[in-house]
């Protein structure tokens, strides 16, 4: 069981930095969020611009962000605490492990993977996040009809994604239209300012 949730009207950075009591058991979202609501997972949140804005904009939804780098986790947690967000938790753990072993099955409404490291060298491509095993693990965490939204500025990586998706079962691939109401990640804002194209696609769990 996860640590008890504080009853204060605000959360400290330590409250927002969620550390599972066990890393070999799937969590129950009711044990980490104060209220019930659709859960969105942001895999690799970086400095948190996107997920912080989403959590503020949709207070009736719950958000779980993952990030590998400790300083980024600390920064996002402090920002969420300053903003008074009670519907966001940040987890420092590898993305594939989170999807495969930590998240509950058939419980997530939407997952995002935004601008993952493209690992452009051929020898390093096995380190890319979007692999068959990752798509399979994420699919199991999504509700039927749940969505996985993928976004990158790197065209070769996007073509890699398309190939992996084509080899994966249980998905319906569809276009992800630009939604002006969605906030931008820091990377996305930078790329758009440079006039670079953004490649995106959306998968729906069948």
Give the residue numbers annotated as catalytic, written as ranges.
117
Q: Residues near 121 by Cβ (< 8 Å), separated by ≥ 6?
A: none
- Strand 199-205, strand 171-174: pairing: antiparallel
**CA-based Rg of the chain, rounded to a whole angstrom?**
16
Tokens 């966001």 map to which residue? 88
144 neighbors 110 (Cβ within 8 angstroms): no
Structure tokens at 149: 């939204």
């Amino acid at each position: 069981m996860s640590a008890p949730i504080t009853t204060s009207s605000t959360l400290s950075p330590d409250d927002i930095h969620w550390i599972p009591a066990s890393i070999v058991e799937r969590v129950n979202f009711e044990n980490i969020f104060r209220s019930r609501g659709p859960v969105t997972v942001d895999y690799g949140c970086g400095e948190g611009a996107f997920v912080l804005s989403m959590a503020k904009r949709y207070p009736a939804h719950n958000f779980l962000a993952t990030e590998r780098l400790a300083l980024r986790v600390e920064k996002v947690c402090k920002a969420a605490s300053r903003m008074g967000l009670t519907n966001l938790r940040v987890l420092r753990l590898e993305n594939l492990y989170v999807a495969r072993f930590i998240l509950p099955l058939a419980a997530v409404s939407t997952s995002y993977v935004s601008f993952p490291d493209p690992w452009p060298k051929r020898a390093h491509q096995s380190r890319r996040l979007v692999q068959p095993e990752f798509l399979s693990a994420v699919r199991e965490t999504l509700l039927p009809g749940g969505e996985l939204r993928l976004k990158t500025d790197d065209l070769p990586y996007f073509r890699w994604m398309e190939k992996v998706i084509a080899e994966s079962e249980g998905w319906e691939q569809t276009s992800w239209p630009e939604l002006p109401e969605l906030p931008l990640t820091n990377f996305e804002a930078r790329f758009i300012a440079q006039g670079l194209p953004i490649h995106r696609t959306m998968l729906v769990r069948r």
